[in-house]
């Protein structure tokens, strides 16, 4: 069997009110390396992730090479994308319409 090239993580969710009332406790969790999803009325609104020396290896690599880290599940991001359009008509018609005449 092949090797897995990804890791599965679970992030706890915390509501805005709970976060505001117990901010120090939740920041301690983030400093310890946990990531927290912040929700408002059940909808995800933010992600608290460790930074600096406490950041996970993926975030450190992304920062080092100027990349970004995922902000949503791949399926959700893919659903928002549209496929590039193809020229109308056949390939022959497209070539004929765009080709410059030769002398």
CA 87/CA 93 separation, integer angstroms: 9
Whether pTM > 0.95 for this model: the answer is no
Q: Distances from the Cα of 98 to the Cαs of 56, 63, 86, 88, 102, in angstroms? A: 51, 43, 14, 12, 12
The model's pLDDT over 21-55, given as tens digits with 9 standing for 90+, comes to 999 999 999 888 888 899 999 898 988 888 777 66
Whether 56 contacts 33, CB under 8 Å: yes
CA 53/CA 68 separation, integer angstroms: 18
* CA angle 37–78–71, rounded 5-degree value: 25
* CATH hierarchy code of domain 1-78: 3.40.1620.10
């Amino acid at each position: 069997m092949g090797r897995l090239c990804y890791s599965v993580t679970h992030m706890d969710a915390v509501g805005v009110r709970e976060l505001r009332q117990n901010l120090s406790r939740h920041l301690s969790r983030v400093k310890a390396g946990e990531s927290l999803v912040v929700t408002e009325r059940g909808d995800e609104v933010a992600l608290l992730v460790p930074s600096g020396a406490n950041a996970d290896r993926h975030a450190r690599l992304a920062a080092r090479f100027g990349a970004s880290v995922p902000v949503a599940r791949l399926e959700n991001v893919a659903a928002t994308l549209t496929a590039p359009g193809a020229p109308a008509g056949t390939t022959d018609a497209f070539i004929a319409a765009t080709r410059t005449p030769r002398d």
